[in-house]
Amino acid sequence: MVNCNDTIQIPGIHVNDRANADGKPGVKPATWRAAITGMVISMVEYLALLQARARDRHALQNLDDQMLKDIGVTRADIEQELAKPFLSDFPWRG
């Protein structure tokens, strides 16, 4: 099999250029600042998710039995959810 990049020579087009098929420049490698910024944003988003979960658990705790019946949840389900540790869904690597 022949590599067409070796056989076809078109002026102005180089194999090593970072360009897409539509001629737009390709994605540059991330800098350390961009990487750290991305990690900080991810941590803030995760903390916001944890806060939202805590708020939802607290709201469920304050519902009366009729409202729980309307949404199909029992008081035992609520107690089980409230018994979970704060970081129960933390994405541990292992």
Q: How confident is the model at residue 45 (pLDDT cuts 50, 70, 90)?
A: very high
Residue 42 is predicted with a pLDDT of 92
pLDDT at 77 over 70: yes
HSE of 66, CA atoms in CB hemisphere, 13 A: 0
Mean pLDDT on 44-68: 88
pLDDT digits (tens, 9 = 90+) for 6-44: 555 666 655 554 555 555 666 666 788 888 999 999 999
Residue 79 is predicted with a pLDDT of 86
Domain range annotation of the chain: 15-82
Residue 61 is predicted with a pLDDT of 85
